[in-house]
Structure 1
Amino acid sequence: MESFPLWLQLLLLILLLLASAFFSIAETSMMALSRFRLGHLVRQGRRSARITAGLLGQTDRLLGTILLGNNVANTALTAIVTALAIRYFGDDDRVILIATTVVAVMLIVFCEITPKVIGATHPERVALPASYVLRGLMPLFSPVVWTINLFVGRLLALAGVRPSEPREQTLSLDELRTIVLESGRFMPHKHRSILLNLFDLERISVDDVMVPRHRVEALDLATEERGIREQLSTCYHNKIPVYEGEINRVVGILHVRRALGLLQREAFDADDVRELLSPPYFVPSGTPVFRQLQFFQENRQRLGLVVDEYGEVLGLVTLEDIVEEVIGEFTTTAPGGETGQAWTDDEVVVEGTASLRDLNRRLGTQFPVDGPRTLNGLLLDVLQELPEAPVSVRFGNLAVEIQQIEDRVIRSARLRRLPH
């Protein structure tokens, strides 16, 4: 080193610092780079992304190249600084100690902490350009890296460690949910809400989204002609179940438009209506919503009657109900529906038969949904009896005051938000 001029030694010192910093920042950025983001860039045709993906596909060679280059640069840097210190300040223990301390500080500050923080903060900006350099260095370092990896492999075998082949990364639904929740400003709120609702389709059943039995609009063939005529002329839905005598004896589904011709006749009977019916489609209670969506598609159906194990009708589920569960409620609603309810001075009156999931979605409440499905069921579950007088139950910062009880059912309740 003494034969080299001082400026050349200082230049070599700076180059070694830069080399060490490069290997440090490249290692951190490569390991911190999102594999899913990288896969997206590869599908977009980014050449640097393809090179980076190829390097990460052989992690042992990549890390071997980076660590070998980093250690060579650090060792050479230490040797040059020590040689310069001895040349200009003498061969003394204190000089060597100071030179070693200076090298350690330089390596920690300029070659370790600073570049690694930058690499971890901006992995994509660093890793993609760095991949060109690393791809060029890997063949040069390949013999040494292969020898070192062979030795390391023997040591791992003696220790009982068998490194497996790199596997494709997969995500569970819960992990995907976390990614969506943490997407922040990168995804519009509505899009994030729809994705979260999609994940929930596997967790909820048709019982959670169906129209309860008491709110199902249906036609009774046992009714006299005048009643049938009046119901057909005022029917809100396009398709309605048709039963005979009582709701559990469903005989078919009527497309109301087909029945409009009957209203033009002077008289018609139940048999005329029966000829217009299509077979009913039954859905077992507890069927997951996502599976039912597939069943609707496979069977080309849009409406199903939810039945329990005894064949009794519990409610009605439609394709629209499932779609609303994903994208939110539509602007229209059937008579007696509750769309449009909102807080007024921190109070709102709701039906006791209202679904807890609907209340949570529309009013922002936080009722538990892992037990009873309706507000009436939740209150009875908490009170363990039907109250004889209006009572109030508290759920967190929400007070639920029972207002009307009829036929052993809580018909209405007032929700009141309490101050925190």
Structure 2
Amino acid sequence: MNDLPLGLLWALLALMLVLSSFFSGSETALMMLNRYRLKHLVKLKHKGATKAHRLLQRPDRLISLILLGNVFVNIAASSIATVIAIRLYGEDESVITIAAILLTIVVLIFSEVTPKTLAAVKPEALAFPAAWIYVPLLKAAYPLVLSINLTANLLLRMVGVQVSKNSHETLNKEELRSIVTEAESLIPSRYQKMLLGILDLESATVEDIMTPRNEIYGIDLELPIEDIVNQIRNSPHTRLPVYKKSIDRVVGFLHLRNVLVKINQENFDKQMLMNALIKPAFIPDSTPIHNQIQHFKMEKLRIGLVVDEYGDVQGLVTLDDLLQEIVGELVTDEMTVKKQADGSYLVDAGITIRELNRLMQWELPTEGPKTLNGLIIEFMETIPEEGTSIKLHGYPLEIIQSDQNAVKLVKFLIER
């Protein structure tokens, strides 16, 4: 090397710095690649992505190759810089020290910080072209890389670390939720809410979304036929449970289209009503929502009664209720949550916690009581009087309306 012209030494030093920059930047770029976008590009047969994906199947070999090349060019650059310093200023130790310090600064700025920062900002721009170089380079240096890997893996096994042949990255529900939430610029708000609703299906049961027992609108067969006909004509629903005295004694479901014509006949009686009934479906209250959607689909049902472990009816759930968990409210009830001029909200205390959280983007706990009324009573351990103000899990509210049995209407004082 001492016999080489000084100009050639400078050119070799510059080449070593460029190669060092390439190894450092490409390493960061390949490791910064979004694995899920990479798999998508592979499916689209992007050649650079395909090669990068193949390299990342064995990251230990890729890292060994990159570090082998980086160490080699950095040592070569150090040797060349030392020769240049000696040729210019003699064999003084201070000259060699200054040359080493200057080279360290140059390498740090031009071969480490700059390329790695660029790689972190635009990983694909560097990773895909680099993959074309690394694939043949890995084949050429395979014996050396393999020996380095075997030694490194042996050392890792000695400390209890097993290097798996393939690493499969998976995302849990909360990580998927974060991805969907952060993709606001790519996913319209309505679709974003639908995706979040789908992610919530796993943890929700029919008990979370059912119409409570005391709000079920049904037909009591013990009533006079005139009252039953009047109920059918004024019903806000198309499917009604039919029972005897108590909702626990359901005999079937009535689809109004099956009797609307018949009720105008003079001979219409309870037996004709019974003949139009559909066999009732009963759903355990712990049934996950996604399972019930599948069950409704298989059995071609649209409505069912929710029962507890003792067989007592706790509520009613429809296919519309299940779908609302995914697509949101099918029909908006303005009286459920109503914004006031001062920024506060009047809320019907019968609303479910899940629905309130979804409408207001709040984080009230859903593990215990299912309704706002139940949550307030559990929190206070009594039924509060009108005018009572509390801070419910960080949300200040005032009881506007209540009776001896339940809270009816509350006012959330500020928007959190």
Output the TM-score relative to the length of structure 2. 0.92
Q: 2:316 is matched with which residue? A: 316
In 2 relative to 1, CA 231–158 (structure 1 residues): closer, same or farther, beyond 3 Å? Answer: closer
1:380 aligns with 2:374: no
Output the TM-score relative to the length of structure 1. 0.91
SS in 2 for 1:163: coil
Q: Is the 8 A contact 1:48 1:131 kept in 2?
A: yes
Q: Is the 8 A contact 2:30 2:123 kept in 1?
A: yes
In the alignment, which of 410, 413, 416 is matched to residue 414 of structure 1? 410
TM alignment of 1:225-264, pairs within 5 A = 225-264=225-264
1:343 aligns with 2:343: no
SS in 2 for 1:354: coil
Q: CA deviation at 1:155?
A: 4.2
SS in 2 for 1:222: coil
Q: CA deviation at 1:5?
A: 2.9
What is the CA RMSD across the aligned residues, in angstroms?
2.3
Q: CA deviation at 1:124?
A: 2.0
Deviation by residue 1:216-268 (Cα, 9 ceiling, x = unmatched) = 22122222121121122222222111112221111111111011121231131
TM alignment of 1:124-143, pairs within 5 A = 124-143=124-143
Q: CA deviation at 1:140?
A: 2.2
Q: CA deviation at 1:366?
A: 4.6
Q: 1:76 is matched with which residue? A: 76
Q: Is the 8 A contact 1:402 1:410 kept in 2?
A: no
Q: 1:219 is matched with which residue? A: 219
Matched residues in 1 for 2:295 and 2:161: separation?
Answer: 48
Matched residues in 1 for 2:49 and 2:380: separation?
Answer: 61
Q: 2:397 is matched with which residue? A: 399
In 2 relative to 1, CA 51–297 (structure 1 residues): closer, same or farther, beyond 3 Å? Answer: same
Matched residues in 2 for 1:75 and 1:349: separation?
Answer: 72
Q: Is the 8 A contact 2:336 2:347 kept in 1?
A: no
In 2 relative to 1, CA 153–44 (structure 1 residues): closer, same or farther, beyond 3 Å? Answer: same
**Long gaps (5+) in structure 2:** none
Q: Is the 8 A contact 1:258 1:276 kept in 2?
A: yes
Matched residues in 2 for 1:53 and 1:311: separation?
Answer: 55
Q: Is the 8 A contact 2:285 2:308 kept in 1?
A: yes
Q: Is the 8 A contact 2:386 2:399 kept in 1?
A: no
Task: State the percentage of identical aligned residues.
Answer: 38
In 2 relative to 1, CA 98–373 (structure 1 residues): closer, same or farther, beyond 3 Å? Answer: same
SS in 1 for 2:390: strand
Q: CA deviation at 1:389?
A: 6.0
Matched residues in 1 for 2:362 and 2:94: separation?
Answer: 71
Q: CA deviation at 1:95?
A: 0.8
In 2 relative to 1, CA 142–389 (structure 1 residues): closer, same or farther, beyond 3 Å? Answer: closer
Q: CA deviation at 1:26?
A: 1.0
Q: Is the 8 A contact 2:248 2:313 kept in 1?
A: yes
TM alignment of 1:14-413, pairs within 5 A = 14-156=14-156, 161-331=161-331, 338-339=335-336, 341-387=338-384, 390-395=387-392, 396-405=394-403, 408-413=404-409
In 2 relative to 1, CA 285–79 (structure 1 residues): closer, same or farther, beyond 3 Å? Answer: same
Q: Is the 8 A contact 1:347 1:414 kept in 2?
A: no
One-letter amino acid of the counterpart of residue 176, structure 1: L
> More deviation in 169-178 or 86-95?
169-178
Q: Is the 8 A contact 1:219 1:242 kept in 2?
A: yes
Q: Is the 8 A contact 1:52 1:128 kept in 2?
A: yes
Matched residues in 2 for 1:392 and 1:119: separation?
Answer: 55
Residue correspondences, number: 415
Matched residues in 1 for 2:337 and 2:371: separation?
Answer: 18
Matched residues in 2 for 1:154 and 1:412: separation?
Answer: 68
In 2 relative to 1, CA 163–390 (structure 1 residues): closer, same or farther, beyond 3 Å? Answer: closer
Q: Is the 8 A contact 1:26 1:130 kept in 2?
A: yes
Q: CA deviation at 1:49?
A: 1.0
SS in 2 for 1:166: coil
Deviation by residue 1:5-49 (Cα, 9 ceiling, x = unmatched) = 333222222111111100111111111212112111111221111
In 2 relative to 1, CA 402–393 (structure 1 residues): closer, same or farther, beyond 3 Å? Answer: farther
